[in-house]
Amino acid sequence: MLLKKNAKLVLEDGYVFYGSSFAAEKSVAGEVVFSTGMVGYPESFTDPSYKGQILCLTYPLIGNYGVPSDEKDVFGIPKNFESSKIHIQGLVISDYSFEYSHWNAKKSLAEWLKENNIPGIFDVDTRELTKKIREKGAMLGKIIIDDKDVEFYDPNKVDIVKEVSVKKPIIYDSISNKSITIDENSIINQINYENKNKNKTVILVDVGVKNNIIRNLIKRNLTVIRVPYDYDFFKFDFDGLVISNGPGDPKMCKKTIYNVKKAIDKEIPIFGICLGNQLLALAAGADTYKLKYGHRSQNQPCIMEGTKRCFITTQNHGFAVDTKTLPKDWEPLFTNANDNTNEGIRHKTKPFISVQWHPEHSPGPRDTEFLFDEFVETLRNKK
């Protein structure tokens, strides 16, 4: 199918890539990043960590297996997506497949993008675009459809986590298999009372959480209390703390860092994932910095410190922990084999651990799901 070249990607340095629109007829701006993953676009596009970003996919053929159903589980969580909507600002690809085929597909990628009002352009030289980002670093850009211009937008300069975090606490009860939105202190007191003789309870700080993190906690018989990023969660009775993935600069999450610091002082077991790794580091007193072009794919190799063991991981982040600034009672846990950046930290004697990748996968290899098991074991051994 031939479409007119009515779309273009304009980078902040003035470079222009021309292409054709196949999704929403809407001009947008954001940070231009790339992912080297070959599959998994339904999960990636619904990952809140991509909020504010224009995503370039390096794999040349996109859309050939369509989009799955929006079926939900007993908790109301979509089974096939990582949140309730698409979070990327826009999509840039090389070749769009107008014909799709998959046993679980319910619609085309173009239909799904249009439903979510997300622009997508194809027939772009994504290889050249990726090389440019690798050489010059991630940069701002804008997709312009039919010459309808917009201003550049930097998602790292705003409190973007506020836009993706849940607005009110939600409890996921692994015993009754139901979820409840929490509104009042009376309900909180009731939950605290009911939880005393139940399964272990964890606070999940939602700074842009993926659904599969929630699934992995629930299936390990944990009661999960999901709270907004700036919520005072110490009003609950709980056994451990999980800090989720999410978008943007971790230093913008000042209230989250403050609350995590309080949890460290109380020696509550902590497990951080992706952005959660950076937030734990900042709460511990370390520093973070922006990577040149980040890590986004399902094929990132991470080596466990002190060993030769390497895990292939799923990642989506643009910032990293500066291990040189870690306090003396903290240490690196994993290192990226490609660029030697940090992929996890831990406290030397206390139950605080975090990783920079996504052990919950979706998409990607499931090799490191054992980290959830180790965290649960920490909760069981808590005195």
Annotated active-site residue 274? The verdict is: yes
Contact assessment for residue 162 and residue 231, using Cβ atoms and an 8 Å cutoff: no
Cβ neighbourhood burial of 303 (10 Å; 0-12, 13-18, 19+): middle
Look up 360 and say whether it is catalytic.
yes
Q: Has residue 234 got a pLDDT over 70?
A: yes
Catalytic residue among 253, 274, 295, 317: 274
Average pLDDT over residues 247-262: 98
State the residue for tokens 């919950």: 360
The answer to whether the predicted template modeling score (pTM) of the entire model surpasses 0.85 is yes
Find the mean pLDDT for residues 66-75.
94
1-15, 104-118, 242-256: which range is least confident on average? 1-15
The pLDDT-based confidence of 182 (bands split at 50, 70, 90) is: confident
Could you tell me if 274 and 358 are in contact, meaning their C-beta atoms sit under 8 angstroms apart?
A: yes
| 157-172 tens-digit pLDDT | 999 999 999 999 999 9
Confidence check: pLDDT of 381 > 90: no
Long-range contacts of 326-335 (CB under 8 A, 24+ apart): 326/281, 326/284, 326/286, 327/284, 327/285, 327/286, 330/281, 330/284, 330/286, 331/305, 332/305, 333/304, 333/305, 334/302, 334/303, 334/304, 334/305, 335/302, 335/303, 335/305
Catalytic residue among 87, 317, 358, 361: 358
pLDDT at 355 over 90: yes
Structural domains of the chain sorted by starting position, each given as residue range(s) with its CATH number in brackets? 7-157 (3.50.30.20), 161-380 (3.40.50.880)
Instruction: Please say if 310 is a catalytic residue.
Output: no
In what order do the strands lie in the sheet containing 178-181? 178-181, 170-173, 223-228, 201-206, 240-243, 270-273, 352-355, 342-347, 330-336, 287-304, 310-322
The tokens of 16 are what? 């222009």
The answer on pLDDT for 174 being more than 90 is: no
pLDDT for the residue 382: 77
Percentage of the chain beyond pLDDT 90 is: 90
According to the model, what pLDDT value does residue 199 have?
86
Tokens of 98: 């107008």
2-14 confidence digits (pLDDT tens): 556 799 999 999 9
